[in-house]
Amino acid sequence: MARSRAEPVAGTHPIDTGVAELMPDTVAGGWLLTVNGAQSSHIHPDPGVLDFEYMRQMAAMIAEVHPDDAALRVLHLGAAACALPRFIADRYAASRQVAVEIDGALARLAREWFDLPRAPRLRIRVGDAREVLESLREDTRDVIIRDAFAEARTPRHLTTREFVVEVRRVLTPGGLYLANCGDNRDLTLARAEVTTAASVFEHVAVVADAAMLKGRRTGNLVLVASDQAIEAGPGLVRTLLADPQPAKILAGRQARDFGSGSVITDPADTSAD
Q: Report the catalytic residues.
A: 147
CA–CA separation, 195 vs 183, rounded Å? Answer: 15
DSSP percent split of the chain into helix, strand, coil, nearest 5: 30, 30, 40
Widest distance between CA atoms in the chain: 60
Give the pairing of strands 219-226 and 122-126.
unpaired
Within 8 A by CB and 6+ apart from 36, the residues are 17, 18, 19, 151
Q: Is 252 exposed, middle or buried (0-12, 13-18, 19+ CB in 10 A)?
A: middle
Phi and psi for 225 in degrees, rounded to 5? Answer: -145, 145
CA–CA separation, 131 vs 53, rounded Å? Answer: 28
Q: Which of 253, 161, 245 is nearest to 206 (CA)?
A: 253
CA–CA separation, 227 vs 229, rounded Å? Answer: 7
Helical axes 53-65 vs 234-241, angle rounded to 10°: 160
